[in-house]
Chain A
Amino acid sequence: MFLSIVNNLLSIRKMKLILTIAVWLLIFPTLFLQGQNVEFKSSQFKDQKDAFKMAEASLESGNAFFKEGLKALEEGKDATPLFFKALEPYRKANEFNPNNGELNYKIGKCMFLTGEGTNAIPFLEKALKLDEKNIEPDVYFLLGKALKLDYKFDEAKAKFTLYKTKERERVLSKITEEVEKEIRQCDLAKNFVAKPVDRIWVEDVKDWNTEYDDFNPSISADESMMVFNSRRPLNGSKDPYTCIWSTNREKGKWSPVKLMGPPFEKAGEYEIFNLSFDGQSMYVGKASPSEDIFLTVLEGNNWSIPMHLPDKINSEAQETGACFSTDGIKIYYITDQVYGNKGGKDIYFSGVMDRKLNLWGQGQTIGSEINTTLNDGFIYMHPDGKTIYFSSQGHNSMGGYDIFRSVRLAGRWSEPENLGYPINTPYDETSFVLSASGKRAYITSNRKEGGKGGMDIYRVTYLGPVKQPVSDFEDQLLADIASPQHEEKLEGTVTVETKNLTILKGRVLDDFTGQPVKADIEIVDNVKNTVIATFTSNSSTGKFLVSLPAGFNYGIAVKAKDYLFHSENFNLPETSAYQLVEKEIRLKGVCLGCKIILRNIFFDTGKFTLRPESSNELIRLGDLIRDIARVKPGIKIEISGHTDNVGSESSNQLLSENRAKAVVKYLVDHGIGQEKLVSKGYGSTQPVSSNTTPDGRQENRRTEFKIIGE
């Protein structure tokens, strides 16, 4: 059992070893092949004979163009189209065999020389990796330049340094100065990029640029007009032509660009050098037979036929740029004429002697402060009249043409100042114009950032002095704002008055004859025990009419001469609407046996103490007895008490007796002789209404006045 387990383990280990070896055998040749130069030989592609033949043909085709290109370069001719033509077959060959060092080198070189600088890097690096020993030493130089354009300044510097050790002496001796310049520019560029110019931004003007060259924008001082050159196909043509284009600025917006009309409509004839500050004149260049400067002026809406500037300015050499001076007297221009030239293209100037006769002074160099041994290729004078901007491959350029500024001070031009990154880059910046406001500049550059291809126009915006945002703090200076204490005291509540009058209409009649009786009527508020109205019924009709607040309990007392008074207690119910209540009051005459119910004499329930609101009725009662006694001195009155049938008979009897006595006592106390009064209690024995209802029982609880003797 144990041996079996050991054997199994051993076999697993063997399997793993075999597997590892197999994997390495598969991977190693691949790695080896990737790092090895593959010659363009049929023996290398035995299984792809046809494809090899096609690739070989492409290679040869490319080589032919490449060779021609090198020759053109030596002769100082434009070799770009030839290297461009070489690229296409080279790429086809490279698709078939991507691991040929020489082919990668050639592709990289063609790409670099046709403006695809940074795209050349992987091909050049691969060429070195595949076949370093056999590749032309200038691969280091090319790679250094390409890396510089890719902002890899340290790597670029290393390549240039390496190049110096690799290149053949006879070649190196011719270009040592250039290599050193490149190394110097790497340092400069590194510093410039590390310290970009503060508070500016650069953006390509997409509406104006094309995949072709768009260059040399020129503006009027107020930035209301711009002209620029664009090399683009016209009217459906295949080939691009340089022409002058223009655009105008209104309310901060540039109008769509348009091709300038006559006399500039002919394709490829003129190009703009400089628009005057007032936008009324232009220096233009005409390439044929040699590049010369012409002047055109705006006459109405039309530009004049360009006038050739005299030979004092236009030499047999090339005059490739010019600009106006603010005083209108001088012209600054670019020429590669031999006389006074420091090297390459230089900046010259001349002064007008007689404008009508087109007489100018002999052109002369602007001075050694500005011109260099390399090309100084563009000039622009700012509207301030003392500052010039020019492009140059010399001075402390960080690569190709850079833009410089110099100021005329005390009759001398100041030391040119590189405008720095990001206005300048390792690429070419070939023109620069600045608005009079100093807010915006327009440059030409072939930089890799932005743009559409070839030279493009970029706008530089100057933000001016640093703008500091402003912080803020807040106080509550007025207490009333910090902590409002608005007066909120309102007028107080009011007592809601619910006055609702009810009309009480009635008639007072003789109870026996039914004739109208003139009677005094008194209305008492039984709750407040106050007389609220006294009036008299009509003598001929017995009518009376009075309005009373509803919702209260009233006592009404009606008295007339020779009649017993009538008293009554009634409620005027609360209603929301108008109400009219009618009463007929029948007065009884004074006679033996006549009686009246004293409705306005009140006791507490179960008690015999007179309530205060009984006083009016008792006073009336006293007055009545006194009135009768004056006529009938022997009058005898019975005051009787009556109850309902609630409770026992004995208690009701006692209560009725006591209540009658209380009334008699009141009357006696108020001057009525005792002999005229008899009190009697009847308990519940003489009901006047049913005791089965509350109202009926109320009716039965009463005090009566009755004449029982005369």
Chain B
Amino acid sequence: MIRKIFLFSAILLLSFIFRIQAQTVSDSTLTPEEKRYRDSIAAVNEQSKRLQLSQEAYNTGIQNFEKKSYTQAILNFDKAIELNSSFDKALYNRGMARFSTADFPGCIADMSQVLKIDKNNNAALLKRAEAYTQLGEYQKATDDYQAVTAKDPNNYKAFYYMGEVFFLQGQYEEALKQLNKAILLKPDFSRAYNDRASCYRKLEKFTDAVMDMQKAIQLEPGQAFYYNNLGSIRRKMNDPEGAIVNYTKAIEKDPAYFLAYNNRGSVYLEQKKTDLALADFNKALEINPKYALAYNNRGIIYYQKGDIDKALADFDKAVLYNKDYGLAYLNRGIAREMKKDAEGACTDWRKAEELGVKTAGKYVSVDCE
């Protein structure tokens, strides 16, 4: 036993001595030049460490992004960039994550930084353009998309998104031009057909719109919203039955598609099929209890039935879930008027007028002095 302890102690001592021999040398043995050399190496090592930590944070950020933990990913990319301010990939990825959290100004800032490092980074341009679009800064978005197409004339996505930007500005003819280019470059791009149909619809070229929607459905028959849009085109063409058929197909494709329930219900409402309409609005609200449009429409049914209190309750909900919902304010004003609440009615109509509902403006001028 004593021998074993002695042997173990000897091994420990030897290993310690060996370590000492291979380890740090005290400053006193170094010349000034050697100290400077050592310090520079230390600085290099420190920088290397920072780079290493930056890269580790960056990789972790990607993992979190892929898990859709965007906020955590942003924190990781923040760290990566803090440790390496010229880490363009981290800047780009943080921009992507910021976009995913709807921090569009943040996304724009990051992508702009990436573009300072590499002005030919089309991916950064595209994403910045998307962020500008989200913020309604359409001209800047268009500038970025044009910069992409100038460098990459076959980038159909840039043309497609540019078309959407023009659409959002109500420039439907210009939107058509861009979407035509996108379709020319990618003839099986069903989403572009949908958007082009929407342009035709706005331009009241309903036949062209129907053809494009049918093409979109042919290319991608599983998309419920294609049927919904086709239904609404049919509705615009004074074909309520055609509208109902397509809304119903949309519901078949996606039984949780509350928009289609609401839309079909609104056609039933116009057809005075109140019970069917009510059932559809109820279903829409069952699926999405915060769906303002269905509250608005169901409120109308109650109003028409003379149950003003229930109508008001639904209009209240509509504006609760969409505080910028002009029509709901208009309708609540009408219901409030019926409850002898002239002041409340005028408040609602003024709000609706602010939100662009012209009828409300007429009511304000006639009924609210």
Contacts and interface: CB of A to CB of B under 8 A. Distances in A.
Interface of A: 201, 203, 252, 437, 439, 461, 463-464, 467-480, 482-483, 485-501, 503, 505, 545, 547, 570-571, 573, 576-582, 692-693, 695
A461 B100 contact: no
A477 B38 contact: no
Given A439-B367, A464-B366, A471-B300, A487 B49 contact: no
B62 A469 contact: no
Contacts of A482: 194, 223, 225
A472 B11 CA distance: 87
B145 interface: no
A461 B359 CA distance: 20
B203 to A, nearest CB: 12
Contact of B48 (A476, A491, A500, A693): A500
Given A203-B340, A476-B259, A578-B42, 8 more contacts: A471-B270, A479-B225, A480-B191, A496-B52, A501-B48, A579-B24, A580-B25, A581-B25
Interface string B186-206: 000011101100100110000
A578 B35 CA distance: 12
Contact of B161 (A469, A480, A578): A480
A490 B92 contact: yes
19 contacts: A437-B369, A469-B304, A479-B191, A480-B195, A483-B223, A486-B100, A487-B130, A488-B100, A490-B96, A491-B89, A493-B58, A497-B55, A499-B44, A545-B34, A578-B45, A579-B23, A581-B22, A692-B11, A693-B14
A478 B96 contact: no
A439 B331 CA distance: 20
Contacts of A487: 96, 123, 126-127, 130, 157
A14 B24 CA distance: 126
B164 A470 contact: no
B142 interface: no
Given A498-B52, A581-B25, A479 B195 contact: yes
Interface of B: 7, 11, 14-15, 18, 22-25, 29-30, 34, 37-38, 41-42, 44-45, 48-49, 51-52, 55-56, 58-59, 62, 65, 89-90, 92-93, 96, 99-100, 123, 126-127, 130, 157, 161, 164, 167-168, 190-192, 194-195, 198, 201-202, 223, 225, 228-229, 232, 235, 259, 262-263, 266-267, 269-270, 293, 296-297, 299-300, 303-304, 311, 327, 330-331, 334-335, 337-338, 340, 342-343, 359, 363, 366-367, 369
Contact of B198 (A201, A477, A490): A477
Contact of A501 (B34, B44, B228, B296): B44
A503 B190 CA distance: 63
B211 to A, nearest CB: 16
Given A491-B89, A580-B24, A473 B262 contact: yes
Contacts of A496: 52, 55-56, 59
Given A461-B340, A476-B229, A490-B62, A693 B11 contact: yes
A501 B41 contact: yes
Contacts of B58: 493-494
A503 B25 CA distance: 10
Given A437-B369, A497-B51, A505-B25, A476 B270 contact: no
Contact of A479 (B93, B123, B194): B194
A477 B197 CA distance: 8
Contacts of A471: 266, 269-270, 296-297, 300
A505 B52 CA distance: 26
B330 A498 contact: no
B266 A581 contact: no
Contacts of B55: 494-497
Nearest to B157: A487
B62 A493 contact: yes
A470 B327 contact: yes
A505 B23 contact: no
Contact of A505 (B7, B15, B34, B225): B34
B37 A472 contact: no
Contacts of B168: 478
Nearest to A580: B25
Contacts of A479: 190-192, 194-195, 225
B150 to A, nearest CB: 19
A576 B99 contact: no
B330 A578 contact: no
B73 to A, nearest CB: 9
Contacts of B300: 469-471
Contacts of A498: 48, 52
Most A Cβ at <10 Å: residue of B14, B45, B223: B45
Contacts of A489: 123
Contacts of A547: 37, 41, 44
